[in-house]
Amino acid sequence: MKADFIKKTWIVLIFAVAMGFLEAIVVVYVRELYYPDGFRFPLELIPPKIFTIELVRELTTLIMLAGIGILAGKTKPGKFAWFLFTFGIWDITYYVALKIFLNWPESLLTWDILFLIPVTWIGPVLAPVICSITMILFSLLILIPESKNQYTKIRPTSWGLTIIGSLIIFISFIYDYTGLMISEGYFTKGGPSLLDPGFTDAITSYNPEKFRWWIFITGEILIISALGNIYFHLKNRTK
């Protein structure tokens, strides 16, 4: 394994860890303002302006993570792999940092708001951690061979399994929230609004109880199948 690859890996790793701590620090401030007694469901109502700022923060975070991938990678698969690697390390570090700062989450099954784009994602902390580990494994299947000048060509089958699996996991995260919006009729009203008293009542009384693990695991199986396909293709090519 080349020395420049090891050096690059350490630089990206340090950046991802630092970014994870920075993200956690921002969340500490937000929770101090809106959840001084600790984060929990049902959610507290935040002003529309702050909600919009949160959306911008998430978008800029994705841009930063993608930027690292573009800068670090040499090939298209390599750029994608560095993005996955950075994302996975960042996300795991984020929860580690929150545990250090707030002693939260109480367990890996504690519910959390995972993302807000394009709709609210919710789920137990364990679910995004599993996704992050999968991302790191995916990235290493591409990056380690590239460090030896063995460039990986991901076949359409593997891409298809990955995309479909990712969409299924996405559905598992938005299943309950989207169901709530549909049952309240907000998608037929042009979308939910924080200015709508009915919507705010629904959100501030919503308490998630059951995560659709079977949907999540189905998506994970498809992605892991893609990883196995990539691995055996690389192994056979090496022979």
Residue 104 Cα to chain centre, angstroms: 18
Are the CB atoms for 132 and 88 separated by under 8 Å? yes
Which residues have a Cβ under 8 Å from the Cβ of 41 and sit 6 or more positions away? 111, 206, 207, 208
| Residue 64 predicted with pLDDT over 80 | yes
Q: Which two tokens stand for residue 141?
A: 């299947």
Which amino acid, residue 231?
A: Y
Mean pLDDT of all residues in 131-157: 88
pLDDT at position 224 is: 96
pLDDT at position 163 is: 96
With bands split at pLDDT 50, 70 and 90, how would you rate the model's confidence at 220? very high
Are the CB atoms for 9 and 78 separated by under 8 Å? no
Are the CB atoms for 222 and 161 separated by under 8 Å? yes
Coil, helix or strand at residue 83: helix
| Residue 203 predicted with pLDDT over 70 | no
Which residues have a Cβ under 8 Å from the Cβ of 32 and sit 6 or more positions away? none
pLDDT at position 199 is: 60
pLDDT at position 168 is: 97
**DSSP 8-class letter at 188:** T
Q: Where are the beta strands (DSSP E) in 17-96?
A: none
Q: For the whole model, what pTM was predicted?
A: 0.89
Helix, strand, coil percentages, rounded to 5, for the chain: 70, 5, 25
**Percent of the chain predicted with pLDDT > 70:** 87
Q: Which two tokens stand for residue 90?
A: 């960042």
pLDDT at position 142 is: 92
pLDDT at position 26 is: 95
List, for residues 36-48, the tens digit of each pLDDT value: 888 888 888 788 8
Nearest 5°: phi and psi at 169?
-65, -40
Separation of alpha carbons 85 and 12, rounded Å: 9
Coil, helix or strand at residue 219: helix
Domain with 147 in it: 3-238
Would you say the C-alpha torsion 3, 91, 26, 106 has a positive or negative sign?
negative
**DSSP 8-class letter at 114:** E
Number of Cα atoms under 13 Å in the Cβ half of residue 6:
3
With bands split at pLDDT 50, 70 and 90, how would you rate the model's confidence at 197? low
Coil, helix or strand at residue 205: helix
| Residue 237 predicted with pLDDT over 80 | no
| Residue 111 predicted with pLDDT over 60 | yes
Total domain count, the chain = 1
pLDDT at position 236 is: 65
